Amino acid sequence: MKIVFPVAGVGTRFLPATKEVPKEILPVIDRPLIQYAVEEAVASGLSDFVFITAPGKEALERYFAPNRPLDAFLRRQGKEKLLDDVRRFYRKRFAYIRQEQALGFGHAIALAEKAVGGRPFAIALPDDLILADKPVLAQMLAVHRKYKAPVLAFMKVPRAEAPRYGIGAGPFLEERVFSLEKLVEKPAPGKAPSNFAVIGRYIMTPDIFPLLQRARRGAGGEIQLTDAVVELMKRRRVLGYFFEGRRFDAGTTLGYVETLLHVALLRRDTRDFTRRLLRSLARDEKP
């Protein structure tokens, strides 16, 4: 199965940093955001990646490509561990498709039609960094195999935050799995059918493509995947899945700070320092 990463967005919330550096390259400690999503995909058994990129995001296209002078430098310095780190993606398959204009997430996915080749495929938004014992894409692939249906990842959010998300509702088929009967992108305050929010992981089927081609501009004047999924729900069963794990919204500045701190508290090499730092900051002392 292929996985599509739509990474052509402008990243307005991270300007001016994202004027020259793609948002997906911003580091969470020492690895870029996109690498967490790619590693999750690899750990879920996926190794064929399709990136929807944009003009000006060449750094993203170069990131997974070999850098022979750097390899030679690290080899000369005897830095084998770092060498392994930079080389680990060389053998994977990466394809890049350009979205010339940022017409929306749904429009970006539509561009992957040929690359996906008529088979079910996964989608991951790297802004959503998910830490889980079993990678969330692997959890969703198991649900997809069982029900042979498209699967959208969900989590509960406070009602007041519903207008920021795609919100869905429907009857449960088993613990964590429900049949989507309603789905609305960024509902107006008080209009959300539930507090079940779509998170950036999907297993899609190729019958979404003709619906995306027909989709009109929706919320924010962009072509939204959600609108095509609503059409898909009229034609076949579409599932929602409450994943196990913790999701961080690294696409907002506050969410980014939270992501950094959590990853720092989990990593062995940064854990103790970060704990001490947070404790001393909480006491309002100098670290």
Nearer to ligand UTP, 8 or 169 (CB): 8
Smallest distance, ligand UTP to C-beta of residue 227, A? 14
Pairing state between β 166-169 and 196-204: antiparallel
> Is 99 one of the binding residues for ligand UTP (CB under 6 A)?
yes
Number of residues that bind ligand UTP (CB under 6 A): 20
> Is 227 one of the binding residues for ligand UTP (CB under 6 A)?
no
> Is 105 one of the binding residues for ligand UTP (CB under 6 A)?
yes
Q: Cβ(127)–Cβ(251) under 8 Å?
A: yes
> Is 166 one of the binding residues for ligand UTP (CB under 6 A)?
no
Nearer to ligand UTP, 102 or 277 (CB): 102
126: nearest Cα among 199, 195, 66: 199
Smallest distance, ligand UTP to C-beta of residue 186, A? 10
Quote the CA–CA distance of 132 and 40 in Å, as a whole number.
9
Smallest distance, ligand UTP to C-beta of residue 35, A? 15
Restricting to residues 9-48, name those near ligand UTP by CB under 6 A.
9-13, 23
Could you tell me which stretch among 4-12, 135-143, 176-184, 228-236 binds ligand UTP (CB under 6 A)? Answer: 4-12
Collapse the DSSP code of 124 into the 3-class scheme (helix H, G, I; strand E, B; otherwise coil) and give the result: strand
Contact pick of 37, 38, 52, 232 for ligand UTP (by CB under 6 A)? 52
Helix axes 253-266, 268-282, angle to 10 degrees: 120
CA separation, residue 191 to residues 82, 90, 111 (Å): 50, 47, 32
Buried b (16+ CB within 10 A) or exposed e, 56-86: ebeebeebbeeeeeeeeebeeeeeeeebeee
Contacts with ligand UTP, residue ranges (CB under 6 A): 6-13, 23, 52, 99, 102-105, 107-108, 125, 127, 251
